[in-house]
């Protein structure tokens, strides 16, 4: 970005990037990557956020919240572009709360960008917008939106993961409309399942903790595929998207070239962590247990999800993959970290930070 020095001469300084959700799993990796490339990174954080993963970086912290338009406008002053990673990612909670954060929050970011004359925004979508049901073919950016999973008793017992999927699909659709109406350049990064350092809620860390506790049986089957990407590769995808200079609205699925066998993924995690992989339980046993747990948790008004939900169970038994060709052809982006290397880095980080 052009600047003026103390003598009034024009100089060129590093681009200023505001990252929302900077203390989250994906956001933290995005902050680290952009900072490593010499960007002037501003981190939007909520009061009391844990900044341990990025506290050692030469970045600036700004308090704010995507549900608070005033704080967004303040944070976006003198900014070149926005990388929006904040959102409610969970399988528990009310639809209204998911909508307030994922849909209204994204629109707040886009409106604030327009008010501050910022033309470039990268937002975080989700492949779940295309559906996460068992599917024999790879889904792509041309696939129709199919976010709502038909869980058993879904009409009477809504599942929070559908709230997440549905609101992510809506936020992407509304972002496309907004970008068209305001001549805003918007790129939507749609990650597959992400693993890596500082992950505590995507499932991989919880799996290792459960195995370490000595549990002899776990969910899963031998034949289903699971599409993953290492968080460091995903962070680089945001950078490549920013550098691309694309105009208008674009969506890109980001993941490893092909999905992997889920059993192989968790076997690698266990081997790297020095743990014995548990035997597999059939879905006919685990799904009814999850359903009962959900019913009981809803009945008592639990604020946190039970150990098992229908969404968590289905994740271990459904097989689905996504096509990453568009990112390769248009962005010239490919995930480069081999699965065994990414898992080794991840487990090493957990150990060094006393989480395993």
What is the DSSP annotation of 26-40? HHHHHHHHHHHTT-E
Whole-number percent of the chain with pLDDT over 70: 97
**pLDDT (0 to 100) of residue 3:** 43
Q: Is domain 13-202+223-258+321-337 annotated with CATH 3.40.50.740?
A: no
Report the alpha-carbon distance of residue 58 to residue 32 in Å, rounded.
Answer: 9
Question: Strands 81-84, 16-20: parallel, antiparallel or unpaired by DSSP?
Answer: parallel
**pLDDT (0 to 100) of residue 156:** 93
Tokens at residue 25, please? 């799993």
Q: What is the pLDDT of residues 246-268, one digit of tens each?
A: 999 999 999 999 999 999 999 99
Report the alpha-carbon distance of residue 222 to residue 123 in Å, rounded.
Answer: 35
**pLDDT (0 to 100) of residue 5:** 43
**pLDDT (0 to 100) of residue 14:** 86
> What parts of the chain have a pLDDT lower than 70?
1-12
**pLDDT (0 to 100) of residue 201:** 85
**pLDDT (0 to 100) of residue 209:** 93
| Bridge partners, 254 (sequence order) | 191
As a three-state string, the secondary structure of 271-333 is HHHCCCCCEEECHHHHHHHHHHHHHHHHHCCCCCCCCCCHHHHHHHHCCCCECCHHHHHHCCC
Tokens at residue 53, please? 């993963």
**pLDDT (0 to 100) of residue 97:** 97
Report the alpha-carbon distance of residue 134 to residue 151 in Å, rounded.
Answer: 12
Q: Where are the beta strands (DSSP E) in the chain?
A: 2-4, 10-12, 16-20, 40-45, 60-63, 81-84, 120-124, 185-191, 193-195, 217-219, 225-226, 228-230, 249-254, 260-261, 279-281
Q: What is the pLDDT of residues 186-204, one digit of tens each?
A: 999 999 999 999 999 888 9
Instruction: Show Cβ contacts of residue 355 under 8 Å, excluding neighbours closer than 6 positions.
Output: 205
pTM of the model: 0.94
**pLDDT (0 to 100) of residue 233:** 98
């Amino acid at each position: 970005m052009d600047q003026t020095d103390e003598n009034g001469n024009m100089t060129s300084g590093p681009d200023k990037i505001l990252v929302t959700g900077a203390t989250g799993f994906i956001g933290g990796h995005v902050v680290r990557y952009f900072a490593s490339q010499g960007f002037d990174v501003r981190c939007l954080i909520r009061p009391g956020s844990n900044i341990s993963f990025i506290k050692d970086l030469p970045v600036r912290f700004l308090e704010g919240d995507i549900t608070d338009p005033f704080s967004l406008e303040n944070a976006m002053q003198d900014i070149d572009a926005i990388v929006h990673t904040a959102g409610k990612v969970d399988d528990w909670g009310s639809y209204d709360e998911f909508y307030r954060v994922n849909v209204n929050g994204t629109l707040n970011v886009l409106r604030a960008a327009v008010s501050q004359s910022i033309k470039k925004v990268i937002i975080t979508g989700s492949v779940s917008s295309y559906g996460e049901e068992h599917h024999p073919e790879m889904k792509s950016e041309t696939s129709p939106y199919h976010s709502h999973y038909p869980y058993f008793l879904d009409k009477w017992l809504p599942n929070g993961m559908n709230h997440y999927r549905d609101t992510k699909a809506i936020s992407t659709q509304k972002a496309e409309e907004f970008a068209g109406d305001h001549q805003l350049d918007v790129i939507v990064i749609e990650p597959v399942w992400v693993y890596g350092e500082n992950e505590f809620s995507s499932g991989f860390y919880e799996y290792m903790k459960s195995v370490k506790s000595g549990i002899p049986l776990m969910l899963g089957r031998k034949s289903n595929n699971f599409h993953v990407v290492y968080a460091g590769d995903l962070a680089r995808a945001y950078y490549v998207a920013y550098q691309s200079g694309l105009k208008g609205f674009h969506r890109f699925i980001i993941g490893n070239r092909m999905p992997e066998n889920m059993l192989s993924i968790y076997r690698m995690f266990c081997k790297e962590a020095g743990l014995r992989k548990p035997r597999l339980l059939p879905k006919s046993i685990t799904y009814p247990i999850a359903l009962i747990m959900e019913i009981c948790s809803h009945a008592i008004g639990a604020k946190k999800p039970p150990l098992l939900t229908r969404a968590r169970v289905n994740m271990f038994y459904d097989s689905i993959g996504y096509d990453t060709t568009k990112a390769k052809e248009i962005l010239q982006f490919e995930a480069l970290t081999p699965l065994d290397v990414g898992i080794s880095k991840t487990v090493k980080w957990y150990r060094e930070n006393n989480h395993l």
